[in-house]
């Protein structure tokens, strides 16, 4: 059985938002994104993949399509395939997200 302790994947970088993988397969990825105050994931889109962000800690400003909303701990948001999406940490606290994408983009 594959297991991961999420707290072990929480790690930040002063340089940019950090993506820490928990699970990765041909069908999905499941990551922890860690954003210090002022860090962001630029708005982008994935034509063939849905992405779900779940806020574990902090408050993020999420963009999905033409909407923008601040979401805090316990909230989840989905960006369906083709929808522009991104997140910014404009708060004064660290932001930790669980992020699932299926299928994962392949470069």
Q: What would the pLDDT profile of 10-44 be if each residue is shown by its tens digit?
A: 999 999 999 999 999 999 999 999 999 999 999 99
| Domains delineated in the chain | 17-102 (2.60.120.10)
Q: Cβ–Cβ contacts within 10 Å for residue 25, how many? A: 10
Give dist(CA 91, CA 25) in Å, integer.
33
Chain centre to alpha carbon of residue 105? 14
The pTM score is 0.95
pLDDT more than 90, % of the chain: 96
pLDDT digits (tens, 9 = 90+) for 73-103: 999 999 999 999 999 999 999 999 999 999 9
Using pLDDT thresholds of 50, 70 and 90, give the confidence band for residue 105. confident
SS3 content of the chain, % helix, strand, coil (to 5): 5, 50, 45
Average pLDDT of the chain to the nearest whole number: 96
Place of tokens 């948001």: 77
Rounded to the nearest 10°, the torsion over CA 75, 93, 36, 63 is 40
pLDDT level of residue 107 (50, 70, 90 thresholds): low
């Amino acid at each position: 059985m594959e297991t991961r302790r999420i707290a072990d994947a929480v790690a930040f970088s002063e340089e940019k938002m950090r993506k820490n993988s928990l699970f990765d397969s041909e069908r999905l990825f499941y990551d922890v994104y860690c954003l210090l105050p002022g860090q962001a994931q630029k708005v982008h889109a994935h034509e063939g993949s849905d992405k779900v962000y779940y806020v574990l800690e902090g408050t993020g400003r999420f963009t999905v399509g033409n909407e923008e909303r601040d979401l805090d701990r316990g909230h989840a948001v989905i960006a369906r395939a083709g929808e522009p999406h991104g997140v910014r940490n404009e708060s004064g606290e660290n932001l930790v997200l669980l992020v699932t994408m299926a299928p994962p983009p392949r470069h």
